[in-house]
């Protein structure tokens, strides 16, 4: 049995770039930075930053484009994929990406790193967000089945 699963918690290094393919599919691409902190043998604190290329498709791409902004802290699940192509200079190029299936926004509504648009939105009528609620978006899209989408929480019900 094989397993290709990526799980990261980090911050967006840029706003998502949302595009539509010629076949009408929505795709969002962005980068997430993760930090590794450790103490070396001499007792000095060390830190290393990794930058991860992320691609989201369909409804998750739309949600990422609408709610995520540079600096936002997110949890991401997906699979690792490496693409290759030959550039105009006839040199073979490679790009490793995380193809996202699930995303959870970890910043609290109204926090410094949340998007300006989300801070200005009023709660839905008859809904009062709790003081410590965190927005969660969990979309599972089975590979190859464009018509089946399971949403745990609908975007319309997010209280920010």
CATH number for the domain spanning 139: value is 2.40.50.140
Range of the domain at 59: 6-37+46-157
Give pLDDT tens digits for 62-86: 999 999 999 999 999 999 999 999 9
32 part of a folded domain: yes
Number of domains in the chain: 1
Structure tokens at 77: 């699940």
Task: Measure the CA–CA gap between 104 and 69, rounded to whole angstroms.
Answer: 13
pTM of the predicted structure, to 2 decimals: 0.64
Long-range contacts of 142-151 (CB under 8 A, 24+ apart): 146/58, 149/58, 149/59, 151/59
| CA 27 to chain CA mean position, Å | 12
144 part of a folded domain: yes
Give pLDDT tens digits for 9-46: 999 999 999 999 999 999 999 999 999 999 999 999 99
1 part of a folded domain: no
């Amino acid at each position: 049995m094989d397993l290709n699963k990526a799980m990261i918690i980090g911050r967006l290094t840029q706003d998502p770039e949302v595009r539509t393919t010629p076949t009408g599919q929505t795709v969002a691409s962005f980068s997430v930075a993760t930090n590794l902190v450790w103490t070396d043998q001499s007792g000095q604190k060390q830190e290393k930053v990794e930058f991860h290329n992320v691609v989201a498709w369909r409804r998750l791409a739309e949600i990422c484009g609408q709610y995520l902004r540079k600096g936002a802290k997110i949890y991401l699940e997906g699979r690792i994929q490496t693409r290759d192509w030959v550039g105009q200079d006839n040199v073979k190029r490679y790009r490793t990406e995380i193809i996202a299936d699930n995303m959870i926004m970890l910043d609290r509504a109204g926090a410094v790193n949340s998007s300006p648009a989300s801070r200005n939105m009023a709660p839905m009528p008859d809904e009062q967000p709790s003081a410590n609620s965190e927005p969660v978006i969990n979309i599972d899209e089975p590979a190859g089945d464009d018509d089946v989408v399971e949403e745990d929480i609908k975007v319309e019900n997010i209280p920010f």
